Amino acid sequence: MTDLGWKFQKIGGGHCHPDINSFQIYAYGKWLAIDPGYKKPKWTKNHNTILVNGLGQFGEGTAWFDRETVAKAKAKSTIIKAQTGADYDYVIGDADSIYPESAGLKKFYRHLIYIKPDVILIVDELEAERAVQFEWRLHVEQSVDKVNDGYFLVKTDDVVMDTHVVYPAKTDSIIDGRFLRVLPEKTNKTVIATVLHPRRTTDAASEARLISFKDSVIELSIKTGKKKTEVKLDLARQQVTLR
């Protein structure tokens, strides 16, 4: 059993957090990808979302969410697609205008695809006005370790989560206690594609690899146990095909 939480909301009052497009994962009775809770000051870096040159979203940096700054900038976030079906659920969140102008962010679409019953594919479309350092962040309940390039293992007691960074091929990674930072090369435009697979420690590790990425179409192969799934995501058309 895998439960996936995704944070998206209208901008509210002081109790809100600067955490648009963040996610949490709970599986087999254990928390794996977590929200660190009610920390003060409130920072985007405390959540499972994206930083741009170390900058987070409007409203961060104070003990209470800075709603006035958000309202003055007319910042907003939008769910631009929500689709559910027997084999997968597919949601896209648009969070570009929720970052300050100094970040230079032009586009942040997070494509979140839940392939039932236990695979989560996250594809982030990122674009900025200039070359910047994008940073993908993951906070965990107990531990995260690097297995090899692009493959990390999150562990909470007898439950683990395979974490595959399948694109870009070349990234830097930093593990700092209970959180993982994934940093692609500095650029003004990129895609970050990650496959997350919660499982018990007694189950076989999953495998995930890039088949191709041409124009706006990314194709992946994901193997969990004896099951193999090929995923085709057309970013421009916002369409998913499984086979």
| Angle CA 221–226–227, to nearest 5 | 45
Longest dimension (CA), the chain: 53
**239-242 and 227-234: which strand pairing?**
antiparallel
- Domains (ranges, CATH) in the chain? 2-202 (2.70.98.70)
At residue 43, the pLDDT reads 81
- pTM of the complete model: 0.93
C-alpha pair distances (Å), 198 with each of 72, 147, 228, 239: 41, 16, 16, 25
C-alpha pair distances (Å), 157 with each of 30, 90, 120, 163: 8, 30, 21, 17
Query: Who's near 74: CB < 8 A, 6+ residues apart?
Result: 97
Distance of CA 236 to the CA centre of its chain: 19
At residue 77, the pLDDT reads 80
- Pick left, alpha or beta for residue 220 (phi over 0 → left; psi -120 to 50 → alpha; otherwise beta): beta
Whole-angstrom distance, CA of residue 173 vs CA of residue 236? 28
Per-residue pLDDT of the chain (243 residues; tens, 9 = 90+): 688 876 665 565 545 666 778 899 999 999 999 987 666 688 878 889 999 999 988 777 565 666 667 667 677 788 999 999 999 999 999 987 889 899 999 999 999 999 999 999 999 999 999 999 999 999 999 999 999 999 999 999 999 999 999 999 999 999 998 999 999 999 999 999 999 999 999 999 999 999 999 999 999 999 999 999 999 999 999 999 999
At residue 1, the pLDDT reads 65
Whole-angstrom distance, CA of residue 59 vs CA of residue 19? 10
